[in-house]
Structures are given as C-alpha cells and as structure tokens.
Structure 1
Amino acid sequence: MKSEYHRIKALLDDRAQKYNQPAFIPHDPISIPHRFSKKQDIEISGFFASIMAWGQRKTIINNCLKLMDLMDNAPHDFILHHQEQDLPRFLGFKHRTFNDTDLLYLLFFFQQYYRQHHSLETAFTGPQNELQTQKQRLEHFHNTVFSLEEAPHRTRKHISTPARKSACKRLNMYLRWMVRQDEAGVDFGIWRNLPMSDLVCPCDVHVERVARRLGLITRRQMDWETAEELTAHLRAFDPNDPVRYDYALFGLGVEEKF
C-alpha cells in the first residue's frame, strides 16, 4: 500500500511539473485573463472564461475573445461605466446554453458589486474573511450573485453551488486561477485571503476518469462530496497546495489519454 502511494505521488508530481508551465496557457481558457494586467480585469475576464469553460477549448476561447471585444477589452472600466445604450451589443451572444439573458444580468450584478467593492474576492470570503470552508465560500458567492431582485432564475444553473450538491468544477477552477501562487506563472495568485490549502480540485470528465483509475475517487457519482474526496487524497500528497495536481490529472487525461 505504501509503495502504491509513492508510485501515484511520483507520477502526479512529475506531471504537475510538466504541465504547470507557461506553454499550458495559450490553448486553455486561462489565456483570456492572461491578456490583462489590472487586477479587476483579470478577475472579471477570468470569471467569464471559467463559467463558459465547457465544450471544446478552441470554441470557449473564441467566444471569450468575442465577449472581451464587446466589453472594449477593458472589462472593469466597462463594468463600472457602461450605460443602458451600451447593452444592445450583447443581444444574441451565446455560448452553449449561456445566453444574453444570463450575460446581461451578470453585467448588471458586476456593476452593482464593483461600485461598492474593490475586488471580487470578498464575494467568496465574506467582508471580514469570516467564511472558513470552501463549501461556505461557494455557497456565499452563489447567494451574493443572486441577491438582486432582477436575477433571472435560468441564470442560476450557470453559477453552481455545493448547496445543490454540485462539484462546482468551473468555480473551483476559477478559484485555482485567482488563489494559487507559484513560480510557474500559469495561475495568478492575486487573492491572498483564501488559503491555497483550502482549494478544491476542479473535477471535469478528464480529471474524474484519471482520478478513478488511480483510486483517488471511490464514490460512484460526481458531486461536491466526490470533489472533496479527491482533494483529500491530493492534500495527502501536498497539504499546502493540493490543487496543483489538477494539472497532472488534466494533462494525463487530455494529453496522454491515460
């Protein structure tokens, strides 16, 4: 059993180092926030890139680039200062089931939010950094986004929450982007009030398949508890930075068809 643990850890350590490199960026949705240097631009563009991150990566990136163009390639400035006459340009925007109704509401929410807050980080951590678990933070974020009376019911499906037992793949990926700090420069590490050790591994179909093959997932369904189960195993390999192994699992699944 001990040798199996070391075998899996060695494999994941090797692949995490291999794939957590700048060469990973251009073909991944994380390339969208890498177009910006301003903190709020990274937050906003990264948010949209993450919640639209399902389907073919090329299509995701192309649609995100279109969205950034519609926001004048200055998302924070556009969010703060756009007027009602600036909104018709978004009509007809669509990525899979994410459409202009969802987009227009999120633009409205972000305008209200950024007029009162410096960073989107507090929408996850709470204003006094009082939320202590990832589950609490994701539930708080969902409730914050849909706290406005104008929130369309249909948009809720695009912002997942553990309260509905979702594994929250896209939001966990977004938090990895914003929170992880290392020398590789793929993730941004611009949020400092949320510990890397608390992050939960994003569980897409590739990560799930590889994790099951390695025995890191035993639960039959893919839900929040399963994401926590996987992360607990990864935390045994690296207590301070468990989700760096997201690169290893994703790379093994996508690049190596493991």
Structure 2
Amino acid sequence: MKKSELKEFLDEKVILYNNPKFIESDPIQIPHRFSLKEDIEIAGFLTAIISWGNRTMIIRNASKMMELLDNSPHDFIINHQKKDLENLNDFVHRTFNYIDFKQFIISLKHIYSNYGGLEEVLSIKDNSKTYQTAIHNFKQLFFEVEHQQRTQKHISDPLKNSAAKRINMFLRWMVRNDKAGVDFGIWKTHNSASLSCPLDVHSGNVARKLKLLPRKQNDWKAVAELDKNLRKLDAKDPVKYDFALFGLGVFEKF
C-alpha cells in the first residue's frame, strides 16, 4: 500500500471509530461521567492504570473505584483521612489491589498538594518531542512518599524501555483536542503533536501488518518506531490513528 493509500485507509477508520459511540464500550466512559477538570483527570488516570484485561471488567472495577471515592475523586483525594482508606480494603483488579489503590490515593494527594496536579507533573520540561522523560520523572515524584515496593510496578518507566501503554492512553484522553468528543483535550499546556500511540497487542499487530512497525516487541523502541511513521501521516495529531489501529484489531480482527 502506498503512503497516500495507507493514509486514506487509516483516516477513514479514524472517522469510523473516533465518535461518541466509541465511549459506550470503552473505559473512557468513566471520566466522561464527570464535569470538574480535576475529577475528569483523576478518574481518567485511575481508570487507565487498571486498563488491562477484559474491557467489561475494567469498566466495572473503575466504576467501583469511583463509588469508593464517593463519586467525587478530587475532593476525596485532597480531604480524606486515614480512616477513610479502610473502605478500600475489598478492592481488587487483577494484580492491582487495595494496597495499591490506597497508595495511589496518598500519592495523588502528594501530587495535587505539592506539585500542582497531574497536568503539571506530566508536562514535558525539556526539549523532548515525546513524553518518555516526562513519564519517568512523574513516576519519581509519585513514589516520593512512603510506599510499598509492590505498587511501583503499576506505573511504567519508558526510560527502562516500557511501552507505557496505559499512561500514553491517559495522556491521549487528556491532551488530544478531539472534535468528535471522545478525547477531552482539557490539558491546554500540552501539545497533541508530542503524544505517542498506546501500544498493545491489538494496535501492535495491526501496525505490523500495515508495515508501520518493523519491531517485534511491544516496548518503547517500538513506540518510537510507530511514532515516527504515524507522524509522517499526521504530524499534528499522530495519535488519532490509535482509533484506527485499535478498531481494526478489536472490532474487525484485521
């Protein structure tokens, strides 16, 4: 397929999947329940962090998370007392359990109280064209507070060559200015051109079939390869093609 044909094919798939109907079956529906900026980003972050495995289970457990936070995540995080965390003791999503959930609440309070919130701590501070170093730095700040070692695995580090799929997905939700109303685009200090595709089994396999990704492993080197090729198709909004790759893989079994 020529580059122009590939772009036309993928642009059509973006239009097909990047629309409000997509929200109904996707974890992004959780932050869409909120209107306050801080609630949207915290709900989005916590949902993205547990977004692996069965999508129905992800949505169910992310909904339970919001209920446990009194459906007011920012207020809960800022104002909770230690005793309030006892209500989280039954929570579990695969390997993410109540110990991790409590730690995330404590770390998020640290981020919002001392660093101005998620938008600020995930911003690109150097001249980098991607979020690789920003995600690494965010992880350092997130675990500045006392924590159990086990919880660190739930935030990936691209400088250790992780694809950081879940954080990249969260960044897409917050940063990408989406005319169709799926992604939020509420982080005005960030730039969609810097976003990377959330690389998983589905998007990786489709990208390889379309010759957009030569590398076999799904790691940060693969993310960088895919970034480079998607930017050739749209330099300003490369990650819109996540909708095409995901839709082709999950819905069309491409």
CA contact (8 A) 2:110 2:142 kept: no
Corresponding residue for 1:192?
A: 188
Aligned AA (1:195): N
Q: Does 1:170 align with 2:166?
A: yes
- Secondary structure in structure 2 of the residue aligned to 1:63: helix
> What is the CA distance between 1:115 and its match in structure 2?
2.1
Aligned AA (2:143): F
CA contact (8 A) 1:135 1:162 kept: yes
Alpha-carbon displacement from aligned partner over 1:94-135 (angstroms, at most 9, x marks no partner): 100001111111111112222234431111126xx4463411
Corresponding residue for 1:57?
A: 55
Output the TM-score relative to the length of structure 1: 0.95
Output the TM-score relative to the length of structure 2: 0.96
Q: 1:180 aligns with which of 172, 176, 179?
A: 176
In 2, Cα distance between equivalents of 1:238 and 1:73: 37
Alignment root-mean-square deviation, CA: 1.2
Aligned AA (1:163): L
Corresponding residue for 2:114?
A: 116
List alignment gaps of at least 5 residues for structure 1.
Answer: none
Q: 1:21 aligns with which of 12, 19, 22?
A: 19
In 2, Cα distance between equivalents of 1:113 and 1:199: 22
> What is the CA distance between 1:186 and its match in structure 2?
0.3
- Secondary structure in structure 2 of the residue aligned to 1:211: helix
Q: Does 1:157 align with 2:148?
A: no
Q: Any residues of structure 2 matched to 1:73-222 within 5 Å, and which?
A: 73-125=71-123, 129-130=125-126, 132=128, 133-148=130-145, 150-222=146-218
Corresponding residue for 1:255?
A: 251
Aligned AA (1:100): Y
Alpha-carbon displacement from aligned partner over 1:23-50 (angstroms, at most 9, x marks no partner): 0001101000000000000111000110
- Secondary structure in structure 1 of the residue aligned to 2:2: helix
> What is the CA distance between 1:204 and its match in structure 2?
1.2
Q: Any residues of structure 2 matched to 1:22-41 within 5 Å, and which?
A: 22-41=20-39
> What is the CA distance between 1:182 and its match in structure 2?
2.4
CA contact (8 A) 1:131 1:137 kept: no
CA distance 1:131–1:40, shift in 2 (3 Å): farther
List alignment gaps of at least 5 residues for structure 2.
Answer: none
In 2, Cα distance between equivalents of 1:117 and 1:167: 25
CA contact (8 A) 1:72 1:78 kept: yes
